[in-house]
């Protein structure tokens, strides 16, 4: 398949993931508030602030995911294969790199923070077990850091491509 045929599929995929990321970012705080109002999860009444801190970090990651996928969607929607090197695309790629770096930083903080309640509060084994899903949400193993570097480098290459294009247009 040619790029012209694959690009529309990637656009649809980016839109689907973007909408899914929005739904996830809305559902996280809503489910936390609803479970708190229903009185579910007794640990939340004892360790409310720790739970709120963890949910806040997960929500921050979720919002950053929405922003990343918005940038990807915008790049795929506006890219012109005849003239792909535009300053707008370069800036979007660079800012996507920064967003991925931000996800890694928040994940790193969250992965280290989740162990704090276990050490400092009593009865927190239940607390940490109840937030096992948070450990998977805090993916600070370096994947986002690596992706941030790669996307940032690609953004810099695009930026240089725009500069070369402008120089060529001036010499002609």
pLDDT at 141: 77
Task: Identify the residue whose tokens are 């109002």.
Answer: 37
Separation between Cα atoms, residue 87 and residue 16, nearest integer Å: 26
pTM for the whole structure: 0.82
Domain boundaries, the chain: 3-171
pLDDT at 63: 96
Separation between Cα atoms, residue 109 and residue 12, nearest integer Å: 33
Mean pLDDT by 10 residues, the chain (172 residues): 86 96 92 76 61 87 96 93 88 96 92 71 52 62 90 95 86 66
């Amino acid at each position: 398949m040619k790029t012209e045929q694959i690009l529309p599929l990637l656009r649809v995929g980016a839109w689907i993931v973007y909408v899914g990321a929005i739904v996830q970012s809305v559902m996280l705080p809503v489910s936390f508030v609803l479970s708190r109002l229903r009185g579910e999860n007794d640990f939340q009444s004892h360790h409310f602030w720790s739970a709120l801190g963890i949910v806040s970090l997960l929500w921050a990651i979720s919002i950053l995911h929405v922003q990343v996928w918005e940038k990807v969607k915008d790049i795929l929607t506006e890219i012109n294969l005849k003239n792909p090197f535009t300053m707008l695309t370069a800036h979007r790629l660079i800012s996507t790199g920064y967003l991925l770096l931000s996800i890694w930083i928040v994940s790193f903080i969250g992965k280290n923070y989740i162990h704090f309640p276990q050490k400092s509060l009593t009865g927190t084994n239940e607390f940490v077990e109840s937030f096992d899903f948070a450990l998977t949400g805090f993916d600070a193993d370096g994947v986002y850091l690596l992706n941030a570097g790669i996307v940032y480098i690609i953004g810099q290459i695009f930026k240089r491509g725009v500069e070369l294009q402008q120089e060529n247009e001036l010499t002609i």
